[in-house]
Structure 1
Amino acid sequence: MRANRYLLLLIAGVALVAAFVDGYAYVFRLATHQSLTGPINQIPHLAVPALGFNQQIYIHKGLDLQGGTHLELQITNVRNNMPISNARDAAISILERRVNASGYAESVVRAEGADRIVIELPGVNLEQAKQILGKTSYLTFWTWAPGTPDATTLSDLNPADANKYQGYKPVYTHIDGSMLTQAVRSTDQSGLPDVSFTLSSSGAQLLCNVTKAAVAKPQGDPQNKLAIFLDKDLIEDANVQSEICGGQGQITGGFTQDSAQALAVQLDSGALPGTIQTLTSTEVSATLGANTVRLSLLAGALGLAIVVLFMISYYRLPGVVASLALLLYAAIALAIFKLFGVTLTLAGLAGFVLSVGMAVDANVLIFERVKEELRAGRTLGAAMEAGVARAWPAIRDSNTSTLITCGVLYFFGAPLIKGFAITLAIGVGVSMFSAIVTTQQLLQVVAGIRPARRLGLYGVSAPRKAVAA
């Protein structure tokens, strides 16, 4: 049986695409006039407008490889008598929206027990993480009325802010952050950063009624002011110059661009249903992450080299073919990791290295079957075809059971295990292509070369001729 030219073209095309994706970082450096060595200034991305293709192409590193922040949070003082587990789930949803809106890539936000949340943010330092995640961001609107703040008000608000005006107390208007439908960073008439917000219909009606009452009071009178509190702190105490009945407003207060953006993200993602306390916080240094990557890559390269030496020394010419297929396998797997944004963790690297061993296992099955067929007296081409056909059921069943295990680990395992499951599943899928398609077609090409037909190159001795008695 001759090699299939269409499959050879497929292998060549896949190899070229994989090589392009794997080396695209260097193409991007040249295109953006950057040095070929050292840190890259921005994430490599490829845009093909005619095809509607716009994709980042790089290795997404997890916390253990890139460095970052690991936080364990606890939710307490839950409002509105919400069950603690429900409050935890609501907080997870809100924190995920904050993380995504802030542009933190490859983050993990997961439940831990009844009232705890674990967050991992690769590439983010501890202060950045606490700034966006640690605030409850419970927005409330208040007016001022004659009187003295009671104990409940003083516990809900900062006492100094609650006693800002002698002889006046803050009165809750029942307008809060749950009525916000949108909050975005904007600029005021002076060009300074502020936060614009939009209220729901119910919130807009309440605000309209409140400002109608406030505008009737003289300017300078505390009763003419509308106070906005974030958590317990007063962030704005503005004079009401006209009725606000459209449901839209601005929060000013000496913001910077970053602080206005952070507040807008917090408000737009929703107020946490209780108080968030940081139980533990760990900052993984980038140096540790880089060292982990270096050692892991070194271990992978060493393992690959040992496997290649073993295959060549034991299986000879088929071992050379298998080594070429193995290198192609590694290139394809790496290209998939880059192109589809697979987050690579230390556990994921372990899954990839394990899949390399499984790729070799498939080749071993094929070569042993080929040797059996050659010993039985078949021609080289027929032995290769029969060897692949006989090895295929074992390869199929083995890899299928592994893929099932990967599915179970991914859907029911801890987040740390998911990276292992994903990379192992990708590796197994690529290894099946490598063994059944790449190795088989390369063997058929080799079988068509006359000097490569010697049985000794396949670890098989030529059968002896029978001697008559």
Structure 2
Amino acid sequence: MKTKGKGKSITLFTLCVVGIFFLAFAGFHGLVVGSGSNQWEFKSFEKSITKGLDLQGGVSVLMEIQSDKTVSKDDLNKTKEMLSLRVNKAGVAETVVTTEGNKRIRIDIPGQYDSKSIVDSLSKTGELSFKDPDGNVLLTGKDVKKATSGTDQQTGQIIVSLEFNDAGKKKFADATTKLIGKQISISMDEDVLTSPVVQNAIIDGKAQITGNKTAEEANKIAAIINAGALPMPVKAVSTQTVGAQLGANALPNALKAGAVGICIIFVFMLLYYRGPGLIACLGLTLFISLVLFTFIGVGVTLTLPGIAALLLTIGMAVDANVLMFERIREELRTGKSVKTSVKAGFHNAMSSIIDSNLTTIISSLVLYFLGSGPVKGFALTLLIGVILSMFTAIVIVRLLMNLAVNAGFLSKPSLFRVKRG
């Protein structure tokens, strides 16, 4: 039975190690499976994580709603969504739009440097209109009740469905009756979203726009129609242009510094703690991979302060391992067996680990909810890192240590750098 248990521990430990290295390899180098039309790509962290302006340059614009009255949360969020659509409809990728306070909205646009045209576009009040071929306005955004994108159940075509209110229903019926076989263009300001051809008179207030090439295009048109004009006028109160050269120099240097720091930590853990140090290195490798995967899942925009927070959490993760290993060594010096010492060491270190990390979590939450811009990004990165460092230390490293002890890999006190007389 003992041999069977030992074999099971060896198998599980090996599978854990292979799994950790596979995740790390896939994350840092990417992975391509299959070929041709059946090819599936697992993108690397470099391609998947959104980079902030300080890493790739761009324009940061702070817009403020111009109103003497208190701005409701709904109006603030609607204005935010409309500004986001206004920027993204031009094909700008990885735009980050966030609210600051009760009246301000920050738009970070990476890779764009023409701040004047961006501010001019964002400052427009915006007007949605339906026009005939001669440019006459037939309906406005006020006549539309809602717009949704979907697929026609009979033809399988991607469509945008429109539903008009009572006033719009009559206007649209009159327009479509006169314009059969002609185009009605739908525009936001001077930008034409789509120009469908009227197939027949529509008198029930419900219409379908066909001819959309992709579901993404249909979603975009429906979203802009729903958003309509800005609910309140806005004004740019701050504009900052960040050159690409800063990020071109800063990111490689930050990555080099991080890699050197992590290597030094790994070497120290291996030399000072030997067997447990190797397990700590495995735990840290998994921790770094999980943090970066979480950044992708949550949609974190990585900035230089964010990289600093990541490196800080790596240090905190090491600190948790040091607390556990020192407790284990104390138990070993009293003459206890390795298995008993590992169990007691983890138990005794638990309260210290939780207390130290809990204070950091509270600080991160305060910074996140009260801070803005880079401070908020730093807080979010720190919060994710601290939570995952606790998970890897308390769950993963503990599991690997127990498996290693049961497998016989850590059977002697000397492997923990403890000498007994």
Alignment of 1:142-157 (within 5 A): none
Unaligned stretches of 5+ in structure 1? Answer: 34-42, 47-55, 143-169, 186-195, 216-225, 234-241, 251-260, 464-469
Equivalent in the alignment of 1:137: 126
Shift of 1:293: 2.0
Would the alpha carbon gap of residues 31 and 284 (structure 1) be closer, same or farther in structure 2, given more than 3 Å must change? farther
Equivalent in the alignment of 2:69: 83
Equivalent in the alignment of 2:417: 459
- AA of the residue aligned to 1:63: L
Equivalent in the alignment of 1:117: 105
Shift of 1:357: 1.0
Q: Does the alignment pair 1:15 with 2:20?
A: yes
Shift of 1:45: 5.6
TM-score (norm 2): 0.69
Unaligned stretches of 5+ in structure 2? Answer: 150-159, 179-183, 192-199, 209-218
Shift of 1:370: 1.4
1:206-231, CA deviations, whole angstroms, 9 ceiling, x for partnerless residues? 6269879xx8xxxxxxxxxx9x9976
Shift of 1:360: 0.7
Q: Does the alignment pair 1:63 with 2:53?
A: yes
Aligned-residue sequence identity (percent) comes to 36
Q: Does the alignment pair 1:25 with 2:30?
A: yes
1:401-447, CA deviations, whole angstroms, 9 ceiling, x for partnerless residues? 43344344444443433433333333233323432344344445555
Q: Does the alignment pair 1:351 with 2:351?
A: no
Moved more, 290-299 or 308-317: 308-317
Within 1, Cα distance between the matches of 2:398 and 2:298? Answer: 28
Equivalent in the alignment of 1:179: 143
Shift of 1:22: 0.6
- AA of the residue aligned to 2:252: R
Contact preservation (8 Å) 2:86, 2:122: yes
Equivalent in the alignment of 1:307: 265
- AA of the residue aligned to 1:60: T
Contact preservation (8 Å) 1:14, 1:332: no
Would the alpha carbon gap of residues 32 and 394 (structure 1) be closer, same or farther in structure 2, given more than 3 Å must change? farther
- AA of the residue aligned to 2:61: L
Equivalent in the alignment of 2:281: 323
1:306-350, CA deviations, whole angstroms, 9 ceiling, x for partnerless residues? 222332343344333322332232233333334554332223222
Equivalent in the alignment of 2:216: none
State the SS of the aligned residue for 2:239: strand
Q: 2:386 aligns with which of 428, 431, 434?
A: 428
Q: Does the alignment pair 1:92 with 2:80?
A: yes
Q: 1:204 aligns with which of 160, 164, 168?
A: 168
The alignment covers a number of residue pairs equal to 383
Shift of 1:393: 2.5
Shift of 1:265: 6.6
- AA of the residue aligned to 1:72: L
- AA of the residue aligned to 1:117: I
Would the alpha carbon gap of residues 23 and 360 (structure 1) be closer, same or farther in structure 2, given more than 3 Å must change? closer
Would the alpha carbon gap of residues 449 and 277 (structure 1) be closer, same or farther in structure 2, given more than 3 Å must change? closer
Would the alpha carbon gap of residues 278 and 401 (structure 1) be closer, same or farther in structure 2, given more than 3 Å must change? closer
Equivalent in the alignment of 2:211: none
State the SS of the aligned residue for 2:315: helix
TM-score (norm 1): 0.63
Within 2, Cα distance between the matches of 1:113 and 1:448? Answer: 55
State the SS of the aligned residue for 1:72: strand
Shift of 1:102: 6.0
Contact preservation (8 Å) 1:126, 1:281: no
Contact preservation (8 Å) 1:58, 1:341: no
Moved more, 1-10 or 338-347: 1-10
1:184-206, CA deviations, whole angstroms, 9 ceiling, x for partnerless residues? 99xxxxxxxxxx99572233256
Alignment of 1:361-440 (within 5 A): 361-440=319-398
Within 2, Cα distance between the matches of 1:321 and 1:390? Answer: 19
Within 1, Cα distance between the matches of 2:414 and 2:271? Answer: 13
- AA of the residue aligned to 1:395: I
